[in-house]
């Protein structure tokens, strides 16, 4: 969710899954950007489980965040699922993939379009953590790395990068990296990006980075490492300071 905080537009959200990760991604999205979100679409094989989660979120939203977002379930077994999914993803500002999967959840063309798509979403993929598991189409990953026009890489002007929590782990432990034949230099860790976002002495590069983070096609692949917890904690403290909430314990 750290890169999600940096996004400029978060009106339409698609969520894969109905477990705890999906639930907390929706909760945090509503807590952080609830006033901007217009729609949340959940894709999950189990309709009862998905609707149970959406009912729970709706009750919490009514009591806490009071977002006017619509929430609905998209049934993968429905007769027009592929067309409905393509439409939903084409209009998505954020896509949260939180299910353990052994094949890509959607084809790359649903995100890339035919070269005429203007909306570029933020895609977070946290459901696969083994070499034989995969959520994202390798063609999507390759396209981002090879994007010399709209992509961003802090050290290579003629390439894009996949945002990750830990490069070494991603390289050997997830199907996206294995099947896309990613190299270490094709990935940039979120900690480095957070640092550059605030402290990069190259102003032109800093501006390009922020444009990419705010409105570019950003894919974040995470397997869950301690540095992510640390970065999340820092982000929470920054929000507390910005909103003047919480208590500071200097001798704790």
| Spatial contact of 37 and 30, defined as CB atoms under 8 Å apart | yes
Residue 118, pLDDT score: 65
What CATH number was assigned to the domain covering residues 2-236?
3.40.50.720
pLDDT tens per residue across span 190-226: 989 999 998 999 999 999 999 999 999 999 999 876 6
- The angle subtended at Cα 5 by Cα 113 and Cα 81, nearest 5°, is 35
Closest C-alpha to 92, from 217, 211, 210, 176? 217
Furthest-apart CA atoms within the chain: distance in Å: 61
Give the H/E segment covering residue 66. Answer: none
pLDDT reported for residue 157: 79
pLDDT in tens, the chain (252 residues): 889 999 999 999 999 999 999 999 999 999 999 999 999 999 999 999 999 999 999 999 999 999 999 999 999 999 999 999 999 999 999 999 999 999 999 999 999 985 555 689 999 999 888 889 999 999 999 999 998 788 899 988 778 999 999 999 899 889 999 999 999 999 999 989 999 998 999 999 999 999 999 999 999 999 876 666 777 777 788 888 888 888 878 776
Which runs of consecutive H residues, i.e. helices, occur in 64-100?
Answer: 81-90
Q: What is the dihedral of CA 64, 67, 68, 74, to 10 degrees?
A: -100
Dist CA 71 CA 143 (whole Å)? 31
Q: Residues near 45 by Cβ (< 8 Å), separated by ≥ 6?
A: 76, 77
The Cα–Cα gap between 135 and 127 comes to 7
Is residue 234 within 8 Å of residue 226, measured between CB atoms?
A: no
Q: Token pair for residue 20?
A: 């705890």
Phi-psi bin for 115: left (phi > 0), alpha (psi -120 to 50), beta? left
pLDDT of 9: 93
When computed from its CA atoms, the radius of gyration of the chain, rounded to whole angstroms, is 18
């Amino acid at each position: 969710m750290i890169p999600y905080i940096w996004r400029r537009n978060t009106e339409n959200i698609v969520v894969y899954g109905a477990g705890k990760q999906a639930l907390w991604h929706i909760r945090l999205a509503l807590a952080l950007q609830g006033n901007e979100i217009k729609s949340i679409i959940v894709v999950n094989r189990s309709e009862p489980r998905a609707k149970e989660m959406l009912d729970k979120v709706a009750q919490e939203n009514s009591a806490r965040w009071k977002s006017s977002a619509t929430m609905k379930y998209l049934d993968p077994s429905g007769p027009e699922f592929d067309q409905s999914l393509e439409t939903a993803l084409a209009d998505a500002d954020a896509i949260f993939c939180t299910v353990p999967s052994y094949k890509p959840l959607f084809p790359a063309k649903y995100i890339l379009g035919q070269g005429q798509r203007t909306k570029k979403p933020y895609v977070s993929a946290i459901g696969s953590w083994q070499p034989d598991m995969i959520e994202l189409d390798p063609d999507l990953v390759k396209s981002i790395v090879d994007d010399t026009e709209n992509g961003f890489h802090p050290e290579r002007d003629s390439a894009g990068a996949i945002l990750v929590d830990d490069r070494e782990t991603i390289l050997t432990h997830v199907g996206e990296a294995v099947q896309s034949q990613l190299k270490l230099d094709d990935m940039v860790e979120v900690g480095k990006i957070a640092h550059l976002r605030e402290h990069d002495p190259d102003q032109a590069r800093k501006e390009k980075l922020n444009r990419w983070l705010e409105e570019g096609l950003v894919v974040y692949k995470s397997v869950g490492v301690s540095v992510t917890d640390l970065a999340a904690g820092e982000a929470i403290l920054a929000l507390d300071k910005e909103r003047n909430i919480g208590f500071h314990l200097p001798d704790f």
